[in-house]
């Protein structure tokens, strides 16, 4: 199933970004509430009224970076 109503949200530094899975929709904002509004605007601009999803599902991802024990940060996994 293609999820035109699913967006992946991640936090980058102090910014939040969202991108659609399988569609060329991308937006970002400084906080989660602004991001939700930006997502609605981006989806509304991308789809015609008939195709526009009624539900937008967010998948929130929070990446953490850990330093390896006794290792420098030169290499990453």
* % of the chain residues with pLDDT over 70: 73
Q: What pLDDT is attached to residue 26?
A: 92
Please tell me whether residue 33 adopts helix, strand or coil conformation: helix
Please report, for the chain, the start and end positions of each structural domain, with discontinuous segments joined by +.
6-61
User: CA–CA distance from 39 to each of 13, 29, 46, 76 (Å)?
Assistant: 19, 9, 11, 31
Per-residue pLDDT reduced to its tens digit, 19-55: 998 899 999 998 889 999 999 999 999 999 898 888 8
pLDDT higher than 70, residue 73: no
Closest CA to 42 of 22, 23, 65, 66: 23
């Amino acid at each position: 199933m293609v999820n035109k109503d699913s967006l992946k949200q991640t936090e980058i530094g102090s910014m939040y970004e969202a991108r659609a899975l399988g569609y060329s929709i991308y937006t970002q904002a400084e906080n989660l509430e602004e991001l939700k509004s930006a997502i609605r605007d981006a989806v509304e601009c991308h789809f015609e009224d008939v195709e526009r999803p009624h539900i937008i599902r967010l998948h929130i991802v929070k990446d953490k970076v850990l330093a390896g024990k006794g290792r420098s940060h030169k290499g990453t996994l």
